[in-house]
Structure 1
């Protein structure tokens, strides 16, 4: 019990760091014996993915049902930041790909996968997900559909009896508590994921694509530590890095190893609560961000597409490159609605340059080879940015209302978020 109490006094980030180090040591020193611990990672990710859809459904439903007329949310500002951030990420990737052109060795292995034919098909899939069967949406983790039905149910409950609203609110609180229990196992889960990554994938297969990986990861790091902070500064006129580092440390690290924006939704909501953000806003913006805020996907689509362009010796002018940035942003927003995620949207972008589908699918094959690191960095960027932009929009609103906001102490805010269920 003493050891357990000492362990609970340590912050979650430090606990995860300990799990990370232990995972590396075990995977390197006793790889065969350590493989039995990979089940811990599967259990952790599975639990997060299982609880996240239910959490989103009840949080959003409770927030809408308890919402008082006249109260404003920041959703317009947050969605605007999501779209701007995704577009700028694609633009950065295009510019960097022109400055540092990379040729790739095309590979087979993805020809049997079905990629969307055009941007209209991607948007159509995204829209159809809105009217997906609610049970099916919960089972498959279709967060656009879950959000849509949660909002509709919440609106339908606006005129319900107070006892009914209280019941929904109590369910929401109970699911949130369950999420807290799951997150307490993050150190063990991360340890299992690290062991699985090192013992299963290794790094030898990535060496042949070192330049491409360096370009991809370099673009994502530039977006995370330069572009996103500039966006935050433009909105709140304060040093953005304390908030940026907080989001990367508590959201990005977990997302890096889970490689799932959906699994990271509960982690992000817990972080938003720590930051003292409005629960009515982040309960919608975080699951929405997991679907449409895809800066990392925009980078992946742009870099791999232009790598194919340079490999084939195709000349590209500036207007076409800008169109690619827009197309990458649009496609990235629809990535979650397409089986295979951002990689299967590469043929769509390649079609802009007249690259045949069979060649484009070879580029997708390259993406799967480097997917171990590419997907990890992409998810970390996407997921941490969800919290970053949600917090930015709220802090901007507070500043406009005359409230003093000190970003340096953002993670130390003790002020509780506005929870209408308890008002």
Structure 2
């Protein structure tokens, strides 16, 4: 006998993750408003979700870094050197914009009631931060996994990846499969995000009050505002330095035909075919974009740099930690490196927030709660972030193709339809 699903249950599983997260957010607000006791009880769902993220994030970072470096293809000439410079310039600039915005409009989020109760000792300055980074870099790999030492995991991931560059193709394929398998587990956990956010929002509002909603809105406005500055100011400036002509026709074309599809798919990897077709339509250099588009989908993450920076500084300010100018500059560099490791799944950049948080001595237990808060605003943030990441690829590839056509006195130029 086949049991029939309730229509509401059937509808819930039919709709996408974004509507489910919105539903969890709304239900969490309602429960917190109706019954504080019930809201505190359902907070268990949020805690389970946070613990699941905390358990899988360290191994995910290690496998992603090792697999990406091990499988990097060598020997192809496709103007990649200049492109990588543009990618990193864009990410560092995005992180700098996010840092300045966080200084001017600092975000506050509820993380813990008593900073001293968890034994958090803020670093005294950049010297202590650098010393901490160096010690974390040479940590035992097993201990780095157990203690969620992301700096150490990245170093070990780079080392393992470089060593496996000379391994057989079978071994490299195995590393890729392991990376995919961990990412698959993360996808399963993310599917429970609506339930986790329901519990987190309900318990947070019951404990901190409805003023916390204003903090979430403020955080989201700062995030989206910085990303729009990257798309409309930073990217055009970098493109102009390369192509030496008005970049905005190219920028608007990328926003129209790349950013909009990426906004709804929320995946740079899923938008690769769209960007390939757009590069062909704009008559860009094929040798460049055939390699640059997949590469950009993996490492060009200006939107992710904004997300990691702002959420990290929100945690830092909320914990009462002072940030000097040298620490801020170092954060921009670390954030840009972290952004390159953002996984190709929705919300992937959030999983690398603990790496940046560890610079300031913020423990993993606090950092993963920042991830959960990021998922709460991620309904909009992640879509905008992906749109910025994907459209930036087109802008930079188009700028290089235009510069090459001018340099080589070719008749083929990047043509952008108005």
Is the 1:115–1:347 contact (alpha carbons within 8 Å) kept by the matching residues of 2?
no
CA distances 1:43-85 after superposition (whole Å, capped 9, x unpaired) = xxxxxxxxxxxxxxxxx99xx8xx8xxxx53111111111111
Deviation at 1:119, TM superposition (A): 3.1
**SS of aligned partner of 2:331:** helix
Structure-2 separation of matches of 1:410 and 1:116:
47
**How many pairs were matched up?**
296
Is the 1:75–1:281 contact (alpha carbons within 8 Å) kept by the matching residues of 2?
yes
Match of 2:302 among 279, 295, 298: 295
Match of 1:82 among 87, 112, 123: 87
User: Which residue does 1:325 correspond to in 2?
Assistant: 332
Is the 2:258–2:390 contact (alpha carbons within 8 Å) kept by the matching residues of 1?
yes
Deviation at 1:358, TM superposition (A): 1.7
Deviation at 1:244, TM superposition (A): 0.6
User: Which residue does 1:7 correspond to in 2?
Assistant: none
Deviation at 1:120, TM superposition (A): 4.5
* Aligned: 1:119 with 2:151: yes
The 3 A distance-change label for structure 1 pair 369 and 38 is closer
* Aligned: 1:343 with 2:353: no
The 3 A distance-change label for structure 1 pair 136 and 313 is closer
Alignment of structure 1 residues 168-179 onto 2, 5 Å: none
**SS of aligned partner of 1:336:** coil
Deviation at 1:134, TM superposition (A): 2.7
Is the 1:129–1:337 contact (alpha carbons within 8 Å) kept by the matching residues of 2?
no
Is the 1:107–1:365 contact (alpha carbons within 8 Å) kept by the matching residues of 2?
no
The 3 A distance-change label for structure 1 pair 390 and 309 is same
Structure-1 separation of matches of 2:14 and 2:346:
29
Deviation at 1:34, TM superposition (A): 8.1
Is the 2:242–2:399 contact (alpha carbons within 8 Å) kept by the matching residues of 1?
yes
The 3 A distance-change label for structure 1 pair 366 and 327 is same
* Aligned: 1:276 with 2:283: yes
Is the 1:274–1:411 contact (alpha carbons within 8 Å) kept by the matching residues of 2?
no
User: Which residue does 2:176 correspond to in 1?
Assistant: 137
User: Which residue does 1:189 correspond to in 2?
Assistant: none
CA distances 1:17-46 after superposition (whole Å, capped 9, x unpaired) = xxxxxxxxxxxxxx999879748x9xxxxx
Deviation at 1:356, TM superposition (A): 2.3
Structure-1 separation of matches of 2:301 and 2:247:
20
TM-score by length of 2: 0.62
User: Which residue does 1:91 correspond to in 2?
Assistant: 96
Higher deviation after alignment, 317-326 or 350-359? 350-359
Structure-2 separation of matches of 1:273 and 1:257:
22
CA RMSD in angstroms, aligned pairs only:
3.8
Match of 1:241 among 228, 239, 248: 248
Deviation at 1:265, TM superposition (A): 0.8
User: Which residue does 1:231 correspond to in 2?
Assistant: 238
Structure-2 separation of matches of 1:300 and 1:235:
26
Structure-2 separation of matches of 1:114 and 1:274:
49
Alignment gaps of 5+ in structure 2: 1-7, 19-71, 114-144, 165-170, 182-193, 202-211
Structure-2 separation of matches of 1:278 and 1:115:
46
Alignment gaps of 5+ in structure 1: 1-30, 42-59, 143-197, 413-423
Structure-2 separation of matches of 1:286 and 1:126:
23
Structure-1 separation of matches of 2:89 and 2:332:
11
**SS of aligned partner of 1:364:** helix
The 3 A distance-change label for structure 1 pair 107 and 371 is farther
Structure-2 separation of matches of 1:250 and 1:127:
38
Structure-1 separation of matches of 2:180 and 2:292:
16
Higher deviation after alignment, 83-92 or 394-403? 394-403
The 3 A distance-change label for structure 1 pair 227 and 220 is same
TM-score by length of 1: 0.61
CA distances 1:242-301 after superposition (whole Å, capped 9, x unpaired) = 101111111111111111111111111111111112222212111111111111111111
The 3 A distance-change label for structure 1 pair 318 and 362 is same
Deviation at 1:101, TM superposition (A): 0.8
